[in-house]
């Protein structure tokens, strides 16, 4: 049968593309035999987005290496983060009538640059409030696998912040969560008594136009790469290390098409940076974290973080039609919070229908009924699931037990296809491109 590709991970001395050090992959046969190894972009799973490719055993000429380095330099931003900070200082001194934002280039413009952008679309009269909410000023990037920016709806953003405050955290490492970061920054600027601080780590360098080097680090969460080098890494380390009496939590919202184990590897490295700041006697503790991801990746996330649990809270987004908070069936967002915080401490809003299960000791959605046979609230998608005695587990309400397949499936499924499982995991019911086991790309 056709071969596949497996991720081996980061490798010492790996070549780089514009997104930082590449990851090492290996071609595999259907029988699981490993073939030739190669390097590919850590962030882009589609060669159309980043064409970098190199066999592990390939000898690259000096000419090609020089051309690659020149290409990588050409793909870097026009201004450094420090230059953008200086530009912002000059921008805020301008009268409102001279504050322009180029929508084509996604850049704040100073008057001397207007002529250069004369044929572009401008947004004028940029207010201080708009500068404090850049996620609403910038166009969302929409590559689902690399840097998809599905931005938290106000409902979910406010819930996360309220939860962080209720749990006693005072510092938030915001990994790919620009809207949560800007909500924290905005509240801190308006209220002197607001004590929460945030550091944004994000691959979208456009945010460097709005935040200082202590508030934003250009970061690739797929290979734990700080584009700003050791200085940026030190900024993150200091943020985790400041005032050990203040509790820190990491909140990560990765692109849903990303490789799970690449993300897990980076999150572990961020946790290790936090570990270096621990007080004596806390060596067994794990950095508190919210990993926001679709529920059907539960088994993959638990494989890398066994201490995590999935909460029932539905995270919804402003700019994604399918990831909206709903009340019934498939209208509900599939995105959940995975966390290593004790589940009973995660209080979900009762006004939205969540309730506390005294047996499971956690908050669950209104449709998630406790199964006495499974001894658990078993629903994953918000609907009430039913127990199948033959499968010995609860299944979706739309599924029925098929004697021919010896498992539960949709009533109109094709039994002929049950012998042809997914190439990656071997299970039926989905194609390889939609397999939750994203360790194989």
CB within 8 Å of 331: residues ≥ 6 apart:
324
Q: How many residues does the chain have?
A: 441
Strands 289-294 and 247-252: parallel
Domain count, the chain: 3
- CA 228 from chain centre, in angstroms, equals 20
Alpha-carbon distance of 440 to 436, in angstroms, equals 9
Beta strands in 321-418 (DSSP E): 335-339, 355-357, 362-364, 370-371, 376-377, 386-388, 393-395, 399-402, 407-410
CB within 8 Å of 60: residues ≥ 6 apart: 15, 54, 68
Residue 402: strand pairing partners: 407
Residues 117 and 215 in one domain: no
Is 231 found in the same domain as 177? yes
Among all chains, which residue has been given the structure tokens 């046969």?
A: 29
CB 228 within 8 A of CB 217: yes
Residues 382, 368: Cα–Cα separation, whole Å: 6
Does residue 398 form part of some domain? no
Dmax over CA atoms of the chain, in Å, equals 74
Q: Is residue 237 part of a domain?
A: yes
Q: Please tell me whether residues 35 and 107 are part of one structural domain.
A: no
- CB 311 within 8 Å of CB 337: yes
Q: Are residues 106 and 21 in the same domain?
A: no
Examine the domain organization and report whether 110 and 224 are in the same domain. no
Q: Rounded to an integer, what is the distance from CA 60 to the centroid of its chain?
A: 34
- Exposed e or buried b per residue across 155-182, where buried means at least 16 C-beta atoms within 10 angstroms of its C-beta: bbbebbbebbeeeebbbbbbbbbbbbbb
Domain edge (last residue) among 366, 394, 416: 366
Q: Is residue 425 part of a domain?
A: no
Does residue 185 share a domain with residue 91?
Answer: no
18 Rama class: left (phi>0) / alpha (psi -120 to 50) / beta: alpha
Residues 290 and 221 occupy one common structural domain = yes
Beta pairing class for 386-388 and 335-339: unpaired
Residue 290 contacts residue 339 (beta carbons within 8 Å)? yes
State the helix-helix crossing angle for 178-190 and 154-166, rounded to 10 degrees.
70
Question: So what's the pLDDT on residue 425?
Answer: 57
- Indicate whether 200 and 108 sit together in one domain: no
**Rounded CA gap, 227 and 403, in Å?**
55
Last residue of a domain, one of 366, 392, 413: 366
CA distance 241 to 219: 19
Q: Does 228 fall in a domain?
A: yes
φ, ψ dihedrals at 364, nearest 5°: -135, 165
> Checking DSSP bridges between strand 53-55 and strand 23-28, what pairing results, if any?
unpaired
Question: Within this chain, do residues 67 and 87 fall inside the same structural domain, yes or no?
Answer: no
**What is residue 439's predicted lDDT score, i.e. its pLDDT?**
40
Does residue 385 belong to any structural domain of this protein?
Answer: no
State residue 34's pLDDT score.
Answer: 75
* DSSP codes, 141-164: P--TTTT---PBPHHHHHHHHHHH
Owning domain of residue 331: 154-366
Neighbour tally for 362: CB within 10 Å: 22
> Distance between CA 270 and CA 251 in Å, rounded?
11
| Residue 18, domain member (yes or no) | yes
Output helix, strand, coil percentages for the chain, rounded to the nearest 5: 30, 25, 50
414 belongs to a structural domain: no
pLDDT tens over the chain, length 441 residues? 355 788 899 999 999 999 999 999 998 876 667 788 999 999 987 888 899 999 999 999 999 999 999 999 999 998 999 999 999 999 999 999 999 999 999 999 999 999 999 999 999 999 999 999 999 899 887 654 445 567 899 999 999 999 999 999 999 999 999 999 999 999 998 888 898 999 999 999 999 999 999 999 999 999 999 999 999 999 999 999 877 678 999 999 999 888 899 999 999 999 999 988 665 445 668 999 999 999 999 999 999 999 999 999 999 888 654 555 554 444 678 899 999 999 999 999 999 989 999 999 999 998 899 999 999 999 988 888 999 999 999 999 999 999 888 899 998 888 854 444 554 455 555 555 556 554 433
Report the pLDDT value the prediction gives residue 144, as an integer from 0 to 100: 45
269 with 335, same domain?
Answer: yes
**Is the Cβ–Cβ distance between 297 and 436 less than 8 Å?**
yes
91 and 165 part of one domain:
no
Note whether 337 and 214 are same-domain residues.
yes
357: helix, strand or coil: strand
Report the candidate in 362, 373, 372 with the shortest Cα–Cα distance to residue 337: 362
Residue 417 lies in a domain: no
3-state class (DSSP) for residue 69: helix
What does the angle CA 77 – CA 82 – CA 88 come to, to the nearest 5 degrees?
A: 90
Which of 319, 334, 366 is where one domain is finished?
366
Give yes or no for a contact between 424 and 435, defined as CB atoms under 8 angstroms apart.
Answer: yes
8 A C-beta contact, residue 7 and residue 262? yes
């Amino acid at each position: 049968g056709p071969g596949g590709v497996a991720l081996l991970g980061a490798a010492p001395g790996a070549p780089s593309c514009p997104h930082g050090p590449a990851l090492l992959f290996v071609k595999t046969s259907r029988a699981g035999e490993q073939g030739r190894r190669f390097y590919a972009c850590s962030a882009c799973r589609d060669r159309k987005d980043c064409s970098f490719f190199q066999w592990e055993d390939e000898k690259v000429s000096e000419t090609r290496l020089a051309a690659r380095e020149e290409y990588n330099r050409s793909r870097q931003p026009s201004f450094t983060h420090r230059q953008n900070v200086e530009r912002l200082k000059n921008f805020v001194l301008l009268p409102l009538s001279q504050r322009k934002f180029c929508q084509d280039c996604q850049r704040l413009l100073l008057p001397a640059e207007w002529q250069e952008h004369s044929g572009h679309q401008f947004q004028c009269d940029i207010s201080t409030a708009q500068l404090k909410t850049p996620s609403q000023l910038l166009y969302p990037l929409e590559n689902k696998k690399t840097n998809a920016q599905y931005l938290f709806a106000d409902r979910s953003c406010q819930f996360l912040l309220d939860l962080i405050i209720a749990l006693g955290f005072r510092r938030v490492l915001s990994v790919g969560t620009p809207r949560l970061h800007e909500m924290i920054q905005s509240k801190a600027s308006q209220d002197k008594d607001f004590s929460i601080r945030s550091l944004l780590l994000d691959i979208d360098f456009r945010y460097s136009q709005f935040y200082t080097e202590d508030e934003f680090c250009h970061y690739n969460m797929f290979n734990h790469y700080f584009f700003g080098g050791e200085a940026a890494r030190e900024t993150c380390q200091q943020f985790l290390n400041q005032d050990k009496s203040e509790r820190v939590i990491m909140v990560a919202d990765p692109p849903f098409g990303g490789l799970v184990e690449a993300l897990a590897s980076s999150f572990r490295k961020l946790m290790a940076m936090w570990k270096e700041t621990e007080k004596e006697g806390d060596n067994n503790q794990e950095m508190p974290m919210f990993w926001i991801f679709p529920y059907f990746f539960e088994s993959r996330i638990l494989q890398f973080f066994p201490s995590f649990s999935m909460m029932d809270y539905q995270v919804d987004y402003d700019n994604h039609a399918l990831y909206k908070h709903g009340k019934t069936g498939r209208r509900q967002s599939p995105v959940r919070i995975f966390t290593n915080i004790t589940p009973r401490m995660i209080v979900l809003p009762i006004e939205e229908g969540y309730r506390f299960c005294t047996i499971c000791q956690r908050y669950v959605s209104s449709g998630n009924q406790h199964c006495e046979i499974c001894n658990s609230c078993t629903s994953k998608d918000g609907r009430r699931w039913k127990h199948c005695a033959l499968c010995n587990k609860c299944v979706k309400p739309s599924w029925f037990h098929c004697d021919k397949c010896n498992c539960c499936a949709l009533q109109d499924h094709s039994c002929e296809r049950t012998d042809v499982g997914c190439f990656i995991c071997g299970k039926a019911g989905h194609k390889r491109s939609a397999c939750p086991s994203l360790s194989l790309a």
